Amino acid sequence: MIVSEEQRIRVMEGDWSPLSVGRHIVDGGLQEDPFYVMDVGEVVARYHTWRELMPRVEPFYAVKCNDDKLLVSTLAALGTGFDCASKAEIELVTSIGVRPERIIFANPAKMASHIKYSARVGVDTMTFDSETELMKIKQHMPRAQLVVRIRCDAAAAQCPLGIKFGCDPVTEAPRLLKLAAVLGLEVIGVSFHVGSGTQETGVYLRAIQYSRALFSLAANVGHANMRLLDIGGGFPGSLHSDIREVSQVINGALDTYFSDRSVRVIAEPGRYFAAAAYTLFAMVHATREVSQKDEEGIEQSHTMYFINDGVYGSFNCVLYDHQHVVAETIEPKCEKPQPCSVWGPSCDGLDCVLPNTFLPPLITGEWLMFRDMGAYTLPVASAFNGFPVPKVRAVIDSSVWSALKDLWPLSESHFCRGDPMTGPQTVDQSMLPSLSDTPSPSPSHSPAPVFVECALK
Ligand SMILES: Cc1ncc(COP(=O)(O)O)c(C=O)c1O
């Protein structure tokens, strides 16, 4: 079997970090394209944190956030369910062996052919928020198990979703529940999404209260077996974020309003699992000195840095996901940070990653690192103007790998030990004494990195 570079996972021993791996890749001088370092262990750690903090809430990963097969396979191996929004997402998830019962078709406005496909492969649970969707489901999948999606918006969110989806829980949902009963359709639950990147934790309490009221009402209008509460996404995903506070709000609300343990509770986290696992490395390939007037009208010098990934690639998240990305140099610098801007590689003036920031002086060929780049980046990126979408270099610590390797859909033939950088981006490892973030210690203190390469089936 031919294994492509991006399918390989490097099993790391000794001290390492995404930064040290990124440095190792660029140090050979042959790497020119931007790339991601994906730390599988970050995903595993987040899964365990979730299970510890919200044991009652089963995560169904929102595939739209990042459909990288390695991420999806890792979560499948850990046992999560999946929120799919389309036929292609269902195909992806089932192709790696996930049973249809572990999938919710969580798009309230589905194409008829996708509903038919869903029926064919046995993905029975799906959301709706309108009369026409009910009619469509009646026609194409009358045995579906339906979940009514209600609207309950956070006071502030990075990406509000209520403007597009979710019926009003007071004025619209009761009518839709009655209509579903008249049509002979089975409604089994309530779902909501408070907004992606929500900045208000209390909104989960409000949404769970609305859901409780609808569970009671549904039972009275003919939906005798309401059994699923889907609390959606909205959870933070960056390296320094924490779900402790939001989990306390959710656990408390569930204890109060859904003390009946026969109700299954799921969530659809996307950003939470994807963001921090991916670190992007991009190279400065051009610079330009300009002067611009500051707020007081005084001329200030300013450097424009052009890097090989931009808003048509990974940094589409700046436009669509309203992300604030942070550029870091990959080597320590003593020089004072200077005013500058960072631009993508395309010939479009819109292609600006950071219009006003501060970085120590950089020269062509130097690399920048951007952490927390795994959410709503890769699946949206295009190769506009001929600039390639970055490839993913996956790494896993050997301790995590030992625990995970038998759960993955992998066989022994997918593993090998040796030079990790085969193919066009080969790096001479003999020139690289250490993969550590810190200055290289003496060889006796520096365990040689050991790589085991493997690939997903
Ligand atoms: C229906 C649905 N569920 C889950 C998610 C994932 O949200 P988040 O990444 O905020 O967890 C989204 C994001 O748009 C969504 O539309």
- Looking at the DSSP bridge assignments, the partners of residue 167 are 150
CA-to-CA distance for 457 and 455, rounded, in angstroms? 6
Distance of CA 457 to the CA centre of its chain: 22
Is 159 catalytic? The answer is no
Among 389, 404, 420, give the residue marking a domain's end.
389
Whether 164 has a pLDDT exceeding 90, the answer reads: yes
Among 248, 274, 300, give the residue marking a domain's end.
274
Lowest-confidence segment of 45-59, 297-311, 392-406, 407-421 by average pLDDT: 407-421
Question: Are 247 and 295 contained in the same domain?
Answer: no
User: Which one is predicted more confidently, 388 or 5?
Assistant: 388
pLDDT tier at 71 (50, 70, 90 boundaries)?
very high
Q: 347, 352, 416, 454: which one is catalytic?
A: 347
Q: Which domain holds residue 201?
A: 41-274
Question: Are 225 and 140 contained in the same domain?
Answer: yes
Whether 193 has a pLDDT exceeding 90, the answer reads: yes
Question: Are 283 and 242 contained in the same domain?
Answer: no
The atom of ligand 1 lying closest to the CA of 106 is 1
Q: Residues 268, 60: contact at Cβ < 8 Å? A: yes
User: Which one is predicted more confidently, 424 or 278?
Assistant: 278
Question: Are 123 and 207 contained in the same domain?
Answer: yes
pLDDT at position 59 = 98
Q: What is the pLDDT of residues 215-253, one digit of tens each?
A: 999 999 999 999 999 999 999 999 999 999 999 999 999
**Residues within 6 Å of ligand 1 by CB:** 62, 64-65, 83, 106, 161, 193, 196-197, 232-235, 268-272
Whether 418 has a pLDDT exceeding 70, the answer reads: no
- How much of the chain, in percent, has pLDDT values that exceed 90? 80
Question: Are 265 and 346 contained in the same domain?
Answer: no
Question: Are 146 and 231 contained in the same domain?
Answer: yes
Lowest-confidence segment of 83-97, 116-130, 187-201, 403-417 by average pLDDT: 403-417
208 occurs within a structural domain: yes
Whether 177 has a pLDDT exceeding 90, the answer reads: yes
- 62 C-alpha to center of ligand 1: Å? 6
pLDDT tier at 432 (50, 70, 90 boundaries)?
very low
Q: Ligand 1, atom 14: nearest CA belongs to which residue?
A: 196
pLDDT at position 1 = 44
- 65 C-alpha to center of ligand 1: Å? 7
- 85 C-alpha to center of ligand 1: Å? 10
pLDDT tier at 415 (50, 70, 90 boundaries)?
very low
Q: What is the pLDDT of residues 113-136, one digit of tens each?
A: 999 999 999 999 999 999 999 999
- Looking at the DSSP bridge assignments, the partners of residue 13 are none
Average pLDDT, integer, range 399-403 = 86
Question: Are 228 and 344 contained in the same domain?
Answer: no
Looking up tokens 């939470």 gives 272
449 occurs within a structural domain: no
Whether 61 has a pLDDT exceeding 70, the answer reads: yes
Enter the DSSP assignment of 370.
Answer: E
CA torsion, ordered 227, 232, 236, 242, to nearest 10 deg:
-10
The atom of ligand 1 lying closest to the CA of 107 is 1
- 195 C-alpha to center of ligand 1: Å? 8
Q: Residues 59, 267: contact at Cβ < 8 Å? A: yes
196, 203, 266, 376: residue to mutate for ligand 1 pocket, most atoms within 8 A of CB: 196
Q: What is the pLDDT of residues 305-361, one digit of tens each?
A: 999 999 999 999 999 999 999 999 999 999 999 999 999 999 999 999 999 999 999
The atom of ligand 1 lying closest to the CA of 196 is 10
57-62/35-39 β-pairing: unpaired
Distance of CA 349 to the CA centre of its chain: 28
User: Which one is predicted more confidently, 244 or 403?
Assistant: 244
pLDDT at position 406 = 78
Question: Are 103 and 120 contained in the same domain?
Answer: yes
243 occurs within a structural domain: yes
Q: Ligand 1, atom 7: nearest CA belongs to which residue?
A: 233
Domain total for the chain?
2
The domain spanning residue 352 has which CATH number? 2.40.37.10
Whether 425 has a pLDDT exceeding 60, the answer reads: no
Distance of CA 133 to the CA centre of its chain: 28
Question: Are 214 and 307 contained in the same domain?
Answer: no
Lowest-confidence segment of 177-186, 347-356, 364-373, 426-435 by average pLDDT: 426-435
Among 245, 274, 303, give the residue marking a domain's end.
274
The atom of ligand 1 lying closest to the CA of 65 is 9
153 occurs within a structural domain: yes
- 157 C-alpha to center of ligand 1: Å? 12
